Amino acid sequence: MTLDLTTYIRPGDRIVWGQACGEPQTLVETLVQQRHRLGDVRCFLGIPGATSTITAEHADTLTLESYCGTGSNAALHAAGLLEIVPIHYSTLPAALAGGDLAADVVFVQVSPADEDGRHSLGLDDDYFSAAIDTARVVIAEVNDRVPFTPGARTLTAQNWATAIYTSRPPTELPAPRADAVAQLVAANVAALVPDGATLQFGIGGLPEACLDALHSHSDLGIHSGLINDGAMRLIRAGIATGARKSTDRGVAVAGMLGGTAELFRWAHRNPQLALRSTSYTHDPAVLAQQSRLVAINSAIEVDLSGQVNCELARWRYVGAVGGAADFLRGAAASRGGVPVIALPSMAGRASRIVANLSGPVSIARSDVGVIVTEYGSADLRRVPVTRRYELMIGVAQPDQRDTLANTLGATLRTGAKA
């Protein structure tokens, strides 16, 4: 029997659900099918998985908003169908739980119940978790293909208004294969990671390549926004033991699982893993306590003074403010920590090291640490701006360096600030 959402959802409601692999697919599909009966409602989207449930045609009655332009969100935004809220990831829980983005309805995907009647959030105990406590309505999708993940929040039937029961593979979030340039960038990043470091890393092929470049290291730890297949491989190989972590020793901590079905099977009741909410994974005090925190994040472009654009590429919104600044600040406050922005020097024929950003300043130059490309590393920490120009040109693609120097010189001669 199909769930009638009109019983629970009112016109004007904001609905939020778990992102990526944590998406309750059947509930979202039901929302799409019944949208014309529900009236105008707002949907807060996160990172889409490999298959996207929400498409352009659904924006006829659904108002779509998100913190990111990742994956299929980029096309929705380009079509004028997705509102982007530029917001630090660490502030999302409070915003969704009672702030400007307060959720009225939460869809949640959970595992089957254990012997005590508890259901694990399984794949995604993330920013949306805070809204479970404040939303008017919580609706659960109990999926017997979802792992029971240690550390993740658990719910019982008393925590939701109604539930549906499904058996379907969760959507996956596989990383693209890293090319030769990404592997060179990854090797340069690996040279910055000491044994015993705790790692944070973003989503995508480059961060996963960075993890794969660390298999000659020892006693690494993980405290990140997500656990991916690359992190699983490090743990399985005995590289990421967490033995030297300052907090959560011996356990890899993250907010969500972002990978393949193999990762989901590995996570089931695995004591080497703990999923925690964003209020913990991105907490600056928690991050500062972790010694040797190496934060590895990517970007669309970086200017010669160290300002970072993580959001717009050729005027298309494809990224996010996200959690990069949260983790870069955390790594900077960590004893022996290293804040890293890693990126290939080129995007096609365009340099990603630029004299002036073509998009917004997602991360201020005061928050960056080490910029890494396939040509080396530019450590900008406590370095004057004029010296930063030299270091940044040194990690640009060689054919672009004269152009960057000339553009910088012209900019400085006209009195503008680079």
Q: pLDDT, tens digit, for every residue of 205-254?
A: 999 999 999 999 999 999 999 999 999 999 999 999 999 999 999 999 99
pLDDT grade for 412, boundaries at 50, 70 and 90: confident
The tokens of 27 are what? Answer: 């509930």
pLDDT grade for 417, boundaries at 50, 70 and 90: low
Q: Helices then strands (H, E): number in the chain?
A: 12, 26
Domains and CATH numbers, the chain: 5-166 (3.40.1080.10), 180-214+276-413 (3.40.1080.20)
What is residue 214's predicted lDDT score, i.e. its pLDDT? 98
Give pLDDT tens digits for 349-364.
999 999 999 999 999 9
In terms of Cα–Cα distance, which of 411, 395, 296 is closest to 357? 411
Helix H, strand E, coil C: the string for 161-225 is CEEEEECCCCCCCCCCCCCHHHHHHHHHHHCCCCCCCEEEECCCHHHHHHHHCCCCCCCCEEECC
* Whether the predicted pLDDT of 62 surpasses 70: yes
Q: What is the mean predicted confidence (pLDDT) over 120-140?
A: 97
The tokens of 224 are what? Answer: 């990140």
What is residue 99's predicted lDDT score, i.e. its pLDDT? 87
What is residue 187's predicted lDDT score, i.e. its pLDDT? 98
Q: Is-contact 294 340, C-beta < 8 A?
A: yes
Give pLDDT tens digits for 96-117.
999 889 999 999 999 999 999 9
Distance of CA 220 to the CA centre of its chain: 20
Give pLDDT tens digits for 278-305.
999 999 999 999 999 999 999 999 999 9
* Whether the predicted pLDDT of 418 surpasses 60: no
Give pLDDT tens digits for 172-215.
999 989 999 999 999 999 999 999 999 999 999 999 999 999 99
CB neighbour list of residue 119: distance below 8 Å, 6 or more residues apart: 110, 111, 112, 113, 140, 142, 154, 155, 156
Collapsed DSSP state (helix, strand, coil) of residue 56: helix
High-pLDDT (> 70) share of the chain, %: 99
* Whether the predicted pLDDT of 57 surpasses 80: yes
Alpha helices by DSSP H, listed for 83-166, are 92-98
248 φ/ψ sector (left φ>0, alpha ψ -120 to 50, else beta): left
What is residue 416's predicted lDDT score, i.e. its pLDDT? 56
* Whether the predicted pLDDT of 401 surpasses 90: yes
